[in-house]
């Protein structure tokens, strides 16, 4: 089962964190996450979260040549509003250190994207310059646990982006008090992609919530279909391109 292999991939990291618990918190300035003063559900152009993803389980190696410093400059110059950073090592080729490296070369807020389901991982994220972290309902289906992780993140000044794939997970996210909902078109259990997921679930949006669409957004046409969303997370379509800055510009043109 794909989900279980992702859990197992974090065992060594968690064992290390329990032996060496994080004791510090990032002392620099965390840029506010993407919307700042943008009204929820407003009519402004959709915000773009451009992703640094070197590999993935579905595609294998995508791009390991571009460095964190280079991608920070390319995405900043290309018009991104935030950068998502894959920090999972085994399947995505990531490192927690990427957050520090990217932050040196951009003013944009950073989202730590990983398989986070333990408070030690939240505390570890708090040692970095990330402005937000990802929590995935499929990994933390207990609403009480999800709430605890969200509140812990917020106590460190981190936004908690809570990812869902279906209506039942949306209910769990809301029970946990989540206010930032990320809809993933890819089912983590099967890795199957269903591009209608974002279009179907946006109808369930409530006032005051922030919604992000993720996975499979690879063109301006796809982006233009995301009415009602505050942001779109775009990864593979940028990282697989010979020029990620050019790819980003072509997707967000004429918003």
Q: What's residue 156's pLDDT?
A: 97
- Per the DSSP assignment, residues forming a β-bridge with 48 are 232
Q: What's residue 61's pLDDT?
A: 87
Q: What's residue 200's pLDDT?
A: 95
Domain boundaries, the chain: 2-12+50-252
CATH class in words for 2-12+50-252: alpha beta
Is residue 132 exposed (0-12), middle (13-18) or buried (19+ Cβ within 10 Å)? buried
Q: Which residues of the chain have pLDDT under 50?
A: 37, 39, 254-255
Q: What's residue 41's pLDDT?
A: 52
Structure tokens given for 195 = 């591009």
Centroid of chain to Cα 146: 16
Its pTM stands at 0.93
Q: What's residue 43's pLDDT?
A: 57
Other residues' Cβ atoms within 10 Å of the Cβ of residue 214: 25
Centroid of chain to Cα 87: 10
Q: What's residue 37's pLDDT?
A: 47
Please name the residues in contact with 82: beta carbons below 8 A apart, sequence gap of 6 or more. 33, 34, 47, 48, 49, 50, 108, 109, 110, 111, 131, 231
Q: Where are the alpha helices (DSSP H) in 104-194?
A: 119-125, 143-155, 167-175
Centroid of chain to Cα 161: 7
Q: What's residue 40's pLDDT?
A: 53
Please name the residues in contact with 246: beta carbons below 8 A apart, sequence gap of 6 or more. 78
């Amino acid at each position: 089962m794909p989900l279980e292999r992702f859990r197992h991939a974090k065992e060594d990291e968690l064992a290390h964190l329990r032996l060496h618990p994080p004791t510090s918190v990032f002392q620099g300035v965390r840029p506010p996450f993407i919307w700042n003063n943008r009204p929820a559900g407003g009519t402004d152009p959709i915000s773009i979260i451009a992703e640094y993803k070197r590999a993935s389980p579905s595609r294998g190696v995508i791009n390991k040549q571009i460095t964190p410093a280079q991608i920070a400059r390319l995405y900043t110059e290309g018009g991104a509003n935030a950068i998502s950073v894959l920090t999972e090592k085994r399947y995505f080729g990531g490192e927690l250190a990427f957050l520090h490296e990217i932050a040196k070369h951009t003013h944009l807020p950073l989202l730590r994207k990983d398989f986070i389901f333990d408070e030690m991982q939240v505390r570890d994220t708090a040692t970095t310059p990330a402005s937000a972290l990802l929590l995935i309902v499929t990994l933390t289906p207990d609403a009480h646990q999800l709430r605890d992780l969200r509140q812990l993140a917020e106590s460190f000044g981190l936004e908690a982006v809570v990812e869902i794939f279906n209506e039942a997970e949306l209910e769990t996210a809301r029970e946990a008090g989540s206010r930032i909902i990320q809809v993933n078109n890819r089912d983590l259990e099967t890795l199957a992609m269903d591009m209608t997921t974002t279009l179907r679930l946006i109808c369930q949006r409530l006032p005051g919530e922030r919604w992000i669409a993720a996975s499979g957004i690879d063109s301006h046409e796809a982006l233009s279909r995301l009415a009602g969303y505050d942001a779109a997370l775009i990864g593979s379509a940028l990282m697989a391109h010979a020029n990620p800055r050019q790819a980003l510009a072509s997707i967000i043109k004429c918003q």
